[in-house]
Amino acid sequence: MASTGSQPSDIDDIFGFFSDGAPPTKKPRKLLPSLKSKKPRELVLVIGTGISAAVAPQVPALKSWKGLIQALLDAAIDFDLLEDEESKKFQKCLHEDKNLVHVAHDLIQKLSPRTSNVRSTFFKDCLYEVFDDLESKMEDSGKQLLQSVLHLMENGALVLTTNFDNLLELYAADQGKQLESLDLTDEKKVLEWAQEKRKLSVLHIHGVYTNPSGIVLHPAGYQNVLRNTEVMREIQKLYENKSFLFLGCGWTVDDTTFQALFLEAVKHKSDLEHFMLVRRGDVDEFKKLRENMLDKGIKVISYGNEYADLPEYFKRLTCEISTRGRTGMAREGQLNGSSAAHNEIRDRDGKWAEFKKKLQVFWPGGSWEPFTDTSHLPPEHADVVIVGGGVIGWSVAYWLKRLEARKNALRVLVVEQDPTYSMASTGLSIGGIRQQFSLPQNIQLSLFSIEFLRNINEYLAVPDEPLLDIQFNPSGYLLLASEEKAAVMEHNVKIQRQEGAKVCLLSPKQLKDKFPWINTEGIALASYGLENEGWFDPWCLLQGLRRKALSMGVYHSHGKVVNLVSSVRSMMTSSGEQVDLKRIYEVHVKVDNSLECQPVECAIVINAAGAWSGEVAELAGIGIGSPGTLQGTRLPVEPRKRYVYVWHCPEGPGLEAPLLTDITGSYFRREGLGGYYLGGCSPMEEEEPDTKDLEVDHDFFQKKVWPYLAQRIPAFNSLKVRSAWAGFYDYNTFDQNGIVGPHPLVSNMYFATGFSGHGLQHAPGVGRAVAEVLLNGNFNTIDLNPFSFNRFYRGKKVLENNII
């Protein structure tokens, strides 16, 4: 891409202002050949906080998360937006190094609007105060870095940043050049940027301070601001097709928010290299990151001994790369006599491009790249193929490796078709965990899960990686019952106590004494979890299981299972019915950028595909047969859409509020410390919403959720809805309970699905149970035989009374 400004003929003239005329004091570091040989259009520059800190070092908010939060907090205090107790609480969290993302989230919520016309711009006001007058605070050494970045952009490099500031855009404007700031809320422009149609735009993947609604603090935040999976995929493709150059990024590649965006590329094995520039003393530390996230190709490169060495190093690198991007310009040190050979190569490249363009016409759609790298395909064979890379699938993978007879005895592959997890039930869950079930099996699963979560780093810690912070909030569950349901609640609590759960019953008076904000009208009895109940971070559990399983040697492929190839043997039953006994021996995986399916030979297939597990079962012929026969018995699992609404109510229940479920089925729990809550309600059978998308029905809240919650919690009469999202349950239409274990006719297909909303909280125990039955032939710890597939054929429901 040609520069928008004038270009001197001598490359040194472009950067002439860098030199102060002083003689060199030390020998410059050599440039890595594989990096300096890149052309600008082959690069994506990833700009981190280190660059902003170098450009404007006197602005603490640009240097770190902690500095930014402190600056926001100072601004809020200056504007009298926080009470003394509130400011002290936030200061304490910062001082104690609490999870900074959560601290920032809570602070932003506190500064968010209370009503439609009051305090509507406080957060934005604070942001503008923090980032005020950045132009006057830039230093010359930092401007050198920005000049280099700008020059690479003008020659075809793409630029994305994790920073909230717009220093690069401000510098460009000072040079008379216009750069556009993009965030993920403008999907059309972001798609054009990823397709290289808006190269003079800077993509702020975590948002930019001028648009607070686009700021992303958490992996789930991408789902809130970017619903278009095509856009997400186009961004991720860049990591497969271009070399990323990380500048001033520090621990960005280990940040879970950044990982969530580029998760698609994690296990793709490619010869394409990526690069990270770091200070020499930090090289060894940052090399450890390559075992975690965007590894397989990241080269950690030293630019010098001091941070001050980066501008000069990057200037020289920019000169070298920009030279290669110019047609007809000889490289530094190139012999003049080589120009003829250079022209010959250029002419050959042009002919090849023309031939390639013609060749593509013969392929469907005319846009398929016949020479796209396919090294990311799944392995040709695996002992166990797990269909579904959600929390259940990764739990099964983890426990298979943990319980295998000897290390590396099992070759396990996890196949996930939604690499962004934008439609996955796990990331869209409210993260609740309870022991208040009616079935002993579900209670036992919950008790094990809570033990697993409380000791998560004993199970899932990975050497040289940060410890997991599951953010468990032990506020308990509070279930309310009418006179009609009181006897059932008493019976359920008796079973819960027999299994070791700590649950108490409360009369209406006891309930009112303990939680004065509840209207007890219509309540005959309540059950309250005294311990081992509450909510946690679902994303952390998913990523923790995934990270640990990968470290144990589990394979991972992003694609869709489109066929299951089986051998068939027919036999007659004692009743004279002919049945086909099947054994799957090959799984076909369709991956992106390929017209063909990759066959994977296997011994075992585990169906953990969640809401889509019914479709996977049909691929094996399950349910395809005469009605009323075992062969014709389908897996009764289908997607059911559920809405989660977030509202603000400063006068609502305080920190002691548990997750409350009303007699009407409506529920809510506290979210953070800023007077925010989230909740919803399962619709009646006849009101089940369409599952073709994840659109939210806001009228459902107004008609089916708010009236009942406001009646039960009078303070909620003045609530204001702030946001909402939708997710899928893997809903078992037969009895709303999990399906665990093998299929009776397809002997090597095992199920781990159909949990109807409580799969997340039971994932640790279900994964262990599936691994036990697969490796040992039976359940060793918790007997889940009642959850077998056979109950569907026999018509014996295993009903769970406490479904939320």
Confidence of residue 117 (pLDDT cuts 50, 70, 90): very low
Does residue 263 have a pLDDT over 60?
no
Q: Which pLDDT belongs to residue 297? A: 62
Q: Which pLDDT belongs to residue 89? A: 79
Per residue in 169-222, pLDDT (tens digit) is 888 888 888 889 888 878 888 888 888 888 789 998 888 877 776 676 655 555
Does residue 610 have a pLDDT over 90?
yes
Distance separating alpha carbons of residues 763 and 755, to the nearest angstrom: 10
Q: Which pLDDT belongs to residue 26? A: 58
Q: Which pLDDT belongs to residue 363? A: 47
Per residue in 52-107, pLDDT (tens digit) is 888 888 777 766 667 777 877 787 777 777 777 778 877 877 776 555 666 676 77
Q: Smallest Cα–Cα separation from 743: which of 756, 754, 733?
A: 754
Mean local confidence (pLDDT), 666-680: 91
Q: Which pLDDT belongs to residue 293? A: 42
Percent of the chain with pLDDT over 90: 44
Q: What is the dihedral of CA 330, 332, 334, 340, to 10 degrees?
A: -10
Confidence of residue 14 (pLDDT cuts 50, 70, 90): very low
Q: Which pLDDT belongs to residue 65? A: 62
Cα atoms in the 13 Å half-sphere on the side-chain side of 38 = 26
DSSP one-letter code for 703: I
More confident residue, 495 or 13: 495
Q: Smallest Cα–Cα separation from 59: which of 205, 161, 167, 181?
A: 167
Q: Which pLDDT belongs to residue 786? A: 96
| 245-269: burial string, b at 16+ Cβ within 10 Å, e else | bbbbbbebbbbbbbbbbbbbbbbbe
Domain ranges of the chain: 35-56+139-323, 60-131, 381-423+539-636+734-794, 475-532+642-728
CATH code of the domain occupying 35-56+139-323? 3.40.50
Considering 149-163, 202-216, 297-311, 552-566, the range whose residues carry the highest mean pLDDT is: 552-566
Helix (H) or strand (E) holding 648: strand 637-648
- The pairing of strands 667-671 and 659-661 is antiparallel
SS3 call for 608: coil
Percent of the chain with pLDDT over 70: 79
Distance separating alpha carbons of residues 210 and 72, to the nearest angstrom: 14
| CATH architecture of the domain covering 381-423+539-636+734-794 | 3-Layer(bba) Sandwich (3.50)
- The pairing of strands 243-247 and 201-204 is unpaired
| CATH architecture of the domain covering 475-532+642-728 | 2-Layer Sandwich (3.30)
